[in-house]
Structure 1
Amino acid sequence: MKWPYLWIAGGAALWGTIGIFIKELSSMGFTPIQIVVLRALSAAVSFFILTFFLNRSLLKIRIRDSYYFIGTGLLSIAFFNWCYFKSMEEVSLSVAAVLLYTAPAFVLILSRIFFRDFITKKKVAALLVTFLGCVFVVGYLPASNGGITWTGLLTGLGSGLGYSLYSIFGKAASAKYKTLTITTYTFIFAGCALFPISGLSHSAHLFEDTRVWLYIIGLGIVPTVLAYILYTVGLRQVEPSKAAIVATVEPVVATLAGFFLFQEKLTLWQCAGILLVIFSAVLVQDKQKKTPLDNGASLT
C-alpha cells in the first residue's frame, strides 16, 4: 500500500476515536455543539503553537486566499457539524451516519468539476461498495428501524456535502500552502464561526473539573490535530475522490472502538460491512504519476 493511502487511512482511523472523547465530555454535561466548538478551539490553539515553533512563517497567508480556509473551516467543518447534529435530531443516529457517508459521492462529482478527475468504473464500484459497507457498519441494514423526515434527509445530505468540501478546498489549498498552514487556519475559522452559537459561556462551571481539560486536550490532539495532519499530507498526493473513499475506514474504527472499549455488540452484518469498507479502500489504489499539485508531503 502506498504511503499517501496509509496516511489518509491513519488520519481517518484517528477520526474514528472521537467517540471516546465525546462520550466522556457528554457525560460531564457538554452539549454536542459545545463539544464541536471545544474540538475546534483546542485544535486551533494546538496547531497555532505547533506551527509557531516549527516554522512561524507558515502562519502568513494572503488575504485573498482566505476563501480556501472559509471553505475548509466554515463551509466544511462548521457547516458539516451543524448539519450532522441537526440530522441526528430528526432521524436515528444510524440513518444520520449513513447520510453523512454520502460524502465520497459528492467528492467524486466535485473533483470532476474542479480538478477534472476522471470518474472511472473502479471509482464508482468502490463508492457503491463503500456506501453499502457503511450502511452495514452503522447497523441500519438489514434491520431498518428509522423513519426519515425531509428535514432529516436534507440536513443529512448537507452533512455529507460539508464533509466532502474539506477534500476539495484542502486539495486546492495544498497547491499554495503547507499542511500546517491549511489545518491551522481551518480550525481558527471554524472555531471563530461556531463559538458565538455554542452557549459555552453559560457552561463555565463545567471547566472546574480537571478531567474536562484532559479530555478537551485529548480531543483536540488525537482525533483532530494528528488526524487532519495525516489526512491533509496524504491528500497532497491522492485524488480527492480516492481519499474520500479510503477515509471511510473511520466508522469501522469507531465501531471497533465501541466493541473493545465500551463492550458494544458487534454483529455479523457489521463485520461484513468492515470487510467491504476495507476492500473498497484497497480497490481505489493504483499506480499513478504525480500531478502538478503534488508538491511534497512535508508539513513545513
Structure 2
Amino acid sequence: MPYQTKLAFLYVAIGASLWGIIGFFVKELTLTGFTSLQIVFLRAASAFLLFLTWIVVKDPSLLRIHFKDIWYFLGTGILSVSFFNWCYFTTIQTSSLAIAAILLYTAPAFVLVISALVFKEPLTRQKLVALASTFFGCTLVSGLFSAQLELSILSILIGLGAGFGYSLYSVFGKLASRKYETLTISIYTFFFAMLTLFPISGITSTDIQVFRPSVVMNVIGLGLFPTVFAYWFYTQGLQQIDASRASIVSTIEPVVATLMGVILFKESISFVQGIGILFVLGAVLLIQERAGISVQTSAAQK
C-alpha cells in the first residue's frame, strides 16, 4: 500500500478516535447543567472560532469560496452535523444510549450505497463483509443485546435519521474536498451548524453560566480535540480514500469511547463488549488490507 494511502487511513482513524473522547467533555458540561442541544451549539461555536483563528494565522485566502458551492457546506453543516446531532440526542431521550449508538452506526451502510451511486465506488464483497463485521461489533459494544427495550417506529426512524445524517458528512465532505482545502470545509461546516443550532439551543437562557472558568475550559477542549482536530484529520484522510472505506474505519470511535470509559471512569467492560471491539478492529484492518491489494493490483495493470 502506498505511503499516502496508509497515511490517509491513519488520519481517518485518528479523527474517529478523537471523536471517541467527546463523552468526557459532554459529561462534564452536562453535570454543569447544559442540555444536549446547548452542548452541540457550544461545540459548533467553539470549533468555528478555533478554525477561524487557525485560518487567519495560516492563510486568510482559505476563507474564499464560490457562492455556487455553498451547498457543499449546507450539506456538511446543516444536513449532517446539525441534523444528525438532533436525531442522535432525540433517540437517546426516547430510547437509550445503546439503541442510539447502534442506529447511529448504520451510517457506513448509507455511505456504501450513496457512494456507489454518487462516486461510482465499487460495492465489493470485502466492503460488505467489513460492513457486516462493523455493524455486529458496534451492536456488541453498545450492549444492545442486554437492553431489552421496546422501541416505537418513530424512535427507530429518528435513530436511522441520525445514521443517515452522520453518513452525509462523508458524502458532502468528499465532494467539497475536490475543490477546497480541509480547513475551508471545516470552518464553513461549523459556521452553518452554529447558525442553525443557535435559535433552537436555548443557549441564551439565564439559568446557564457559559463564562465560568471550568465551563470555558471544557468548551475549548470540546471544540479543539473531538471537533477541530477530529474533523481536520478525518477530512484530510477523506481526500485520499473512498468515502465508504473512511466511514467503516471511523467506526473505531465507539471502541475508543468504551476504552476511555474503562480507563478514565473505571467503567467495566464485559466479555461480549470485548468481542465487539475485536469485530470492529477486524473490519478496520480488513478494509485497509483490501485497499492495499486494490491499489497494488491497479498499479500492476498500469
| Cα shift at 1:3 | 1.0
Where structure 2 has 5 or more consecutive residues not aligned to the other structure, the ranges are 297-302
Aligned 1:133-152 pairs, distance under 5 A: 133-141=137-145, 143-152=146-155
Q: In the alignment, which residue of structure 1 is the partner of 2:113?
A: 109
User: Which deviates more from structure 2 when the two are superposed, residues 111-120 or residues 1-10?
Assistant: 1-10
The 3 A distance-change label for structure 1 pair 56 and 119 is same
| Cα shift at 1:208 | 4.2
| Cα shift at 1:207 | 2.2
Aligned 1:148-159 pairs, distance under 5 A: 148-159=151-162
Give the root-mean-square deviation of aligned CA atoms.
Answer: 1.2
2:212 paired with 1:209:
yes
Q: In the alignment, which residue of structure 2 is the partner of 1:237?
A: 240
Cα distance per residue 1:84-140 (max 9 Å; x no partner): 111112212101110000000000000011100010000000000000000011111
Structure number having the greater helix percentage: 2
Q: In the alignment, which residue of structure 2 is the partner of 1:298?
A: none
- Percent identity between matched residues is 49
Q: In the alignment, which residue of structure 1 is the partner of 2:131?
A: 127
CA contact (8 A) 1:88 1:152 kept: no
Q: TM-score, normalised by structure 1?
A: 0.94
CA contact (8 A) 1:259 1:265 kept: yes
Q: In the alignment, which residue of structure 1 is the partner of 2:280?
A: 277
Cα distance in structure 1, aligned partners of 2:208 and 2:84: 28
CA contact (8 A) 1:90 1:151 kept: no
2:43 paired with 1:36:
no
Q: In the alignment, which residue of structure 1 is the partner of 2:17?
A: 13
Cα distance in structure 2, aligned partners of 1:230 and 1:92: 30
Cα distance in structure 1, aligned partners of 2:208 and 2:124: 54
Where structure 1 has 5 or more consecutive residues not aligned to the other structure, the ranges are 291-300
Cα distance in structure 2, aligned partners of 1:193 and 1:203: 21
2:249 paired with 1:250:
no
Cα distance in structure 2, aligned partners of 1:204 and 1:222: 27
User: Which deviates more from structure 2 when the two are superposed, residues 98-107 or residues 147-156?
Assistant: 147-156
The 3 A distance-change label for structure 1 pair 139 and 203 is farther
2:194 paired with 1:188:
no
| Cα shift at 1:147 | 1.6
| Cα shift at 1:144 | 3.8
Q: Which runs of 4+ in 1 moved over 3 A?
A: none
Aligned residues: 289
CA contact (8 A) 2:11 2:234 kept: yes
Cα distance in structure 2, aligned partners of 1:89 and 1:155: 11
Q: In the alignment, which residue of structure 1 is the partner of 2:223?
A: 220
Q: Give SS of 2:9's match.
A: helix
Q: TM-score, normalised by structure 2?
A: 0.94
CA contact (8 A) 2:116 2:122 kept: yes
